[in-house]
Structure 1
Amino acid sequence: MPETIPAQFKKAAAFIAALKPGESRQEIPDSAQAGLYLVMQPSGALSFAVRTKIDGKAAKVTIGRYDEVGSNDRAGNIISASRAINVTQARAIAETVMADAKRGNDPRATKIDRTSVGAWFDEFMKTARTTGFKGRPVKASTADEYERIITTNVKPHWKHVTDIRTIDYRDVEKLLAKLTPGARRNAFAVLSAFFRWKPVARAMGRNIIELAEAPAKPQSRDRVLSLDEIKAVWKAAEKCGYPFGPMAQLLLLTGQRRDEIANLKWSEISDDRITLEAARTKNSRPHVVPLAPLASTIIEALPKMHDADGNPSEYLFTTTATTPFSGFSNGKKALDKHCGEPALPDWHLHDLRRTCATELAKLGIKQEVTEAILNHKTGKVSGVAAIYNRYDYQDEKREALEQLATRIQSITADNVTMLKKLA
């Protein structure tokens, strides 16, 4: 067996260059870093591997292929079998692997062979939905929102990035500048979680998000639709048709959050109510929404979508039959177009929720009932009172939402045209 690799880099490089492949695979231990081996195949291919113990069992981790020059230093201690590394980099990575193994962490669990942005984001989402970042999976609704933001606001702007290690804080700031104020805050929050994720931080050698300037917090909105605007939006929703039209109408009639309605499943509809599990709500509390007859009629008129194999979709609002509706930007544009001229000034879908609460107040509905409808944690019932008051206001919620539906019909001149059920 050849002598061990000398400690100094230049001598090590010369030593490796002089090696000759044999008939069988060879593992040459490094003289400077315990557990590190240079692996030579009969073909002459060279790679580095670390032999250690994980959970008391012997394990081997391939950390890269040998290259005299190595890769860009910005790559940090990334663990990748295909990455080109020199002796110095191999020793640094081996030290990290040994330290991780000693702490009980399996370095193979964070090993990613690809460095593209898309690959890293895919791995990030996979981790969020399985093991999570704090010992448990991320809540399903939160993971869905992460994925929506990454797919809509991040990946399209970083298509040209083939190696995540080339990104710095200026790239983050340029990306954020292309987004709307609200989208900036959401994208920054997801990118903060992504760049703080240990595998990414280890691959890049630093957390670049700490250098990026955080977007300013947007001012709280107080936009409420006027009676004429409510009528305009309702009529525009009729013209939009399925799926965005009836979805917008239900947002106004129920006061629920956008994704809670957009992601509705048929299994969550029973008789005259919507039942949402804790995982489906923003505050992680189960929630029951009584349906007024008008809301029930809208739901009953919805088409039952089927996938390519003829299987019925589980979602009320969908364009693919396999995933819930997500084309909010185009849907909102269509809604605005059908509102006619002049267009409604600066309004968002979330304003329908605020308008619902305002109209309930005009009807004299008690605030605690409105809070129960909106599934808010705060409100008049708080503190010690909230601990002992477990009344769910179901009867009051139903009466309030039925009154609201009647008011909406009156606002729209009592000539509401229901959306026809599609074939």
Structure 2
Amino acid sequence: MPISIPGQFKKAASFINSLEPATTRQEIPDSAQAGLYLVVQPSGALSWAVRAKIDGKASKVTIGRYDEVGSADDRIGTLISPTQALNVTQARAIAERVRNDAKRGNDPRLQKIDKTGLAAWFDDFVRTARTAGFKGRAVKGSTADEYERIIATNIKPHWTHVTDIRTLDYRDVEKLLNKLTPGARRNAFAVLSAFFRWKPVARAIGRNIIELAEPPAKPQSRDRVLSQDEIKTVWKAAEKCGYPFGPMVQLLLLTGQRRDEIAELKWRELSDDRDAITLEAARTKNSRPHVVPLSPLAKTIVEAIPRIIDAEGEASHYVFTTTAATPFSGFSNGKKALDKHCGEPALPEWHLHDLRRTCATELAKLGIKQEVTEAILNHKTGKVSGVAAIYNRYEYQDEKRQALEKWAIRVQAIVAENVELLRKTA
């Protein structure tokens, strides 16, 4: 075996790839650049080090880890980092600069790496999502909020040891995912997929590491629909929960809308007579405004909701809020309280989204046409699809109102003739 790394790039790469780790640490000199060594650990880890005299003392500077492809970061050659990925050519260029700096009396070890910390990258990622976006337009505000929440709760706490994103590889992603629950795992993987595909990050690392990570298993399609007894139990439990979670759950059941569409409801999205909701395009999944008629029962619930006032005496923009400044977000605690009020025996595993599926199922039982149900749910993927969906712009407003009024009457019959509504309390 040669005692030094060959000068020609392909030969050097072939030589390094053929190395077998020894039982002790090895330093293999480079034949083309004085002072450059490849450090081979017994574990098989490979790193680059430069030996030079700094302040009159023989010193060793670790300049990066070996990677046959190297890094695509434009700053390679201007930064010193023990964790950056360097191929043979890049390592030689940095080694030459380190030795030249040492000769001029500069200590390359004192240079700081600019903007490679994980927190700074994630902050820029969320900021970009809110402003320029990744496909020519900013993402929805709720999506950016979700990015920020997932990063703060499911990613950053498990990567506190990461000081340079260029040290990350697919194994770090898989280790992080294995620490999370199935739902959080899928959310984190989705955010990290967008993060590592983001061009600045891909350039800094040199490749999209998410492509090598094992994606989480797809969730099994849920078909949970609440029975009539369960509908009654959940309704009564919502009454006991009170504002804000209780009436929010009741509206989810009565309208069949998505959780966040109701939880983030603004007073301005309610009609003056409180008999309809108009969801802003920015808050719907298909980015189109969506009108949701409110049945008399739903209207009564809305009219009983208190208008929350902030510390400065201003009325909150949000219908459901605990802070007056932000929409309701305490779903985990709210669901626990709801389940507690459901009593014993506990309802088999169910989610708030099951209320949407229950609404759709009960509408079918009432004989509501599928296209009307899809219009209520703001779906465009069922009976009215393809060419028909392109040319059929009818919104079914009268049919939607009639259907939801029928459903509300059905709910009243299920939960009892004298439905107890939530009292208006602050």
Question: TM-score by structure 2 length?
Answer: 0.74
Query: Quick one: distance in 2 between partners of 1:82 and 1:337?
Result: 59
Query: Quick one: distance in 2 between partners of 1:9 and 1:316?
Result: 70
Structure 1 counterpart of 2:334, from 316, 331, 337: 331
Match of 2:283 in 1: 280
User: Any gaps of 5 or more consecutive residues in structure 1?
Assistant: 1-6, 20-66, 93-111
Quick check: 2:166–2:205 contact (8 Å CA) kept in 1? yes
C-alpha displacement at 1:392, in angstroms? 0.7
- Larger displacement relative to structure 2 (176-185 or 334-343): 176-185
Query: Quick one: distance in 1 between partners of 2:314 and 2:373?
Result: 38
Question: Residues 59-104 of structure 1: CA distance to partner in whole angstroms, max 9, x if unpaired?
Answer: xxxxxxxx95445668943759996459956968xxxxxxxxxxxx
Question: Residues 133-168 of structure 1: CA distance to partner in whole angstroms, max 9, x if unpaired?
Answer: 222222333323323332333233334544434433
Query: Quick one: distance in 2 between partners of 1:81 and 1:258?
Result: 50
Match of 1:152 in 2: 153
Quick check: 1:71–1:83 contact (8 Å CA) kept in 2? no
Structure 1 counterpart of 2:404, from 401, 406, 410: 401
Question: Residues 283-310 of structure 1: CA distance to partner in whole angstroms, max 9, x if unpaired?
Answer: 1221100111211221222222233333
Quick check: 1:305–1:313 contact (8 Å CA) kept in 2? yes
Equivalenced residues, count: 350
SS of alignment partner, residue 336 of structure 2 = helix
Question: Residues 170-227 of structure 1: CA distance to partner in whole angstroms, max 9, x if unpaired?
Answer: 3322322233333322221111111121222233333221221111111111110000
Quick check: 1:68–1:85 contact (8 Å CA) kept in 2? no
SS of alignment partner, residue 311 of structure 1 = coil
Query: Quick one: distance in 1 between partners of 2:245 and 2:419?
Result: 17
- Within the alignment, does 1:303 sit opposite 2:306 as a pair? yes
Query: Quick one: distance in 2 between partners of 1:143 and 1:404?
Result: 34
Query: Quick one: distance in 1 between partners of 2:302 and 2:75?
Result: 51
Query: Quick one: distance in 2 between partners of 1:9 and 1:251?
Result: 71
Aligned positions of 1:73-112 closer than 5 A: 76=71, 77=73, 79=75, 84=80
User: Any gaps of 5 or more consecutive residues in structure 2?
Assistant: 1-31, 37-49, 83-88, 95-112
Question: TM-score by structure 1 length?
Answer: 0.74
Assess, with a 3 A threshold, how the Cα gap between structure 1 residues 114 and 222 changes in structure 2: closer, same or farther. same
Quick check: 1:81–1:113 contact (8 Å CA) kept in 2? no
Query: Quick one: distance in 1 between partners of 2:78 and 2:306?
Result: 50
C-alpha displacement at 1:360, in angstroms? 0.8
Aligned residue identity for 2:361: T
Identity across matched positions, percent:
75
- Larger displacement relative to structure 2 (232-241 or 135-144): 135-144
Question: Residues 294-348 of structure 1: CA distance to partner in whole angstroms, max 9, x if unpaired?
Answer: 1122122222223333322211112222221112122111111111111111111
Aligned positions of 1:173-322 closer than 5 A: 173-270=174-271, 271=273, 272-322=275-325
Match of 1:348 in 2: 351
Query: Quick one: distance in 1 between partners of 2:231 and 2:293?
Result: 21
Assess, with a 3 A threshold, how the Cα gap between structure 1 residues 314 and 141 changes in structure 2: closer, same or farther. same
Match of 2:377 in 1: 374
SS of alignment partner, residue 372 of structure 1 = helix
Question: Residues 83-132 of structure 1: CA distance to partner in whole angstroms, max 9, x if unpaired?
Answer: 6459956968xxxxxxxxxxxxxxxxxxx944333322111110111111
Aligned-residue RMSD, C-alpha = 3.1
Quick check: 2:293–2:404 contact (8 Å CA) kept in 1? yes
Query: Quick one: distance in 2 between partners of 1:312 and 1:420?
Result: 19
Match of 2:168 in 1: 167
SS of alignment partner, residue 268 of structure 2 = helix
SS of alignment partner, residue 119 of structure 1 = helix
SS of alignment partner, residue 378 of structure 1 = coil
- Larger displacement relative to structure 2 (165-174 or 288-297): 165-174
Assess, with a 3 A threshold, how the Cα gap between structure 1 residues 341 and 127 changes in structure 2: closer, same or farther. same
SS of alignment partner, residue 373 of structure 2 = helix
SS of alignment partner, residue 274 of structure 1 = strand
